[in-house]
Every structure is written in C-alpha cells, then in structure tokens.
Amino acid sequence: MTAPPRKRRKEARPSELLGAALALFVDKGFAATRLEDVASRAGVSKGTLYLYYANKAALFKAVVQEGIVPVIVENEAIAARHTGSSFTLLEMLLHNWWTKIGQTDYAGIPKLIVAEARNFPELAQFYYENVISRARALVGACLRRGMASGEFRQLDMETAIDVVIAPILMLLIWRYSFGCCQQGESDPERYLQIHTELLRQGLRQLENESQV
C-alpha cells in the first residue's frame, strides 16, 4: 500500500522562506533578488510567499527581524546583567555578535546594506534604527561605564564607538566583496584577536592620566 504524500507543516514555511531569502539576498543583493526565485528555492509557489510577505521589502525586514535583531536583544540582556569589568563586557558583546552573525550567512547583510542604501533608503533607515543604532548604543553604554569607573581613558564617545565597530564591519564587508580576490584564506579569529588587543591597550586608563 502506497503511503500518502507527506504534508509540509504550514508553520514551517515562513522559516523556509526566510532562509531562502537570506541566501539569495546575500548572493545577489536586494535589487537582483526576485520573489519568484525565493519561492522556488523554498519549494513553494509565489502565491504562498505572498500569504506571508506583501513584498520584497517586507521579506527583507523579516530576515533582519528574525535573524539579526534577536542577537541585538541578546547582547542587551548580556549588558544588563553584567557586573564585571567593562572591557570584559565589550569582549562578550563583540564575541557574541561574531559568533551569531559573523560566522553565519547573516554576515552578508551589512555589506548588502552598505552597497544598496542609497537606492533603497527605506530599508537603510529600517536597518539603521533596528540594528546599527541599537548596536552603537550598546557599545556606547559599555564605554561610558568604563570611563565612569576609571577603567577606560576619557575619549570622544562617538568616535570611540566608530573605532570599536568599524574593524568588525570591515571584516564582514571584506568577506563578501574583495575576499574572493586575496591569496589564501583570511583568519577571522586572528583578526579579532588583534583587534581586541588593540582595544585593550587603547582604552586602558594610563597611570599618569588617572592622576591628573
């Protein structure tokens, strides 16, 4: 007796659609990704896709909301309960971001946003408000905490935030752009280790400064 065809669970489809969308957004960019290609990759009809997402912008926002924003929320929770040194907190935040985003396909989203922000300002604004602004606020709070306790030297806050974040952002962008051109594979862990050590030395309050 032939077994009846296996039915796919309806509730599984959104995650399948988001996975397919992420892969295509990272590979092709936002402009070149077509909804019919997303549906085909997920194994559903285009009509099924429209049951969940009204358009491509909504689909992209859902990818960010489901895959990247939860890491921001997790880091906010880490910061809220941390009671140790501010540099240890900064390390934890950067490490968690790299583990949950940098080592996954979501690492391609920052490069996509940088490349297409001018052409899709609504998406850029959405990403800025939901990811960039909150990430900067986290790093800023950590730096202020360290400066207030005397663990960190006094620095211009906005510039210091940029200096902490920019190398991580560059690592992600390089991976999905010029990484294919360089000879041999890069070593992200070594890169991050050096970045962390430079931050440790650069942020540290010097003895002669603490006595001023």
Range of the domain at 192: 68-210
Provide the CATH number for the domain around residue 201: 1.10.357
Give the chain's domain count.
2
Give the per-residue pLDDT at 173.
86
Give the per-residue pLDDT at 2.
47
Give the per-residue pLDDT at 113.
94
Pair 52, 13: CB distance under 8 Å: yes
Burial of 121 (0-12, 13-18, 19+ CB in 10 A): exposed
Provide the CATH number for the domain around residue 39: 1.10.10.60
- The Cα 102–Cα 130 span in angstroms is 18
Backbone torsions φ then ψ of 81, nearest 5 degrees: -100, 0
Within-domain flag for 5 = no
Give the per-residue pLDDT at 174.
84
Q: What average pLDDT does the structure give for the chain?
A: 89
Pair 85, 150: CB distance under 8 Å: no
Backbone torsions φ then ψ of 152, nearest 5 degrees: -110, 150
By three-state DSSP, how is residue 188 classified? helix
Pair 105, 23: CB distance under 8 Å: yes
What tokens were used for 28? 């092709």
Q: pLDDT tens, 69-79?
A: 999 999 999 99
Given a cut of 50, is residue 65 above it in pLDDT? Answer: yes
pLDDT band of residue 66 (cuts 50, 70, 90) is: very high
Within-domain flag for 63 = no
* Beta partners for residue 204, in sequence order: 152
Cα 108 vs. chain centroid, distance in angstroms?
Answer: 8
**Of 31, 32, 17, 30, nearest in space to 66 by CA:** 17
Q: pLDDT tens, 119-159?
A: 999 999 999 999 999 999 999 999 999 999 999 999 999 99
Q: Are residues 49 and 74 both part of a single domain?
A: no
- The Cα 191–Cα 184 span in angstroms is 15
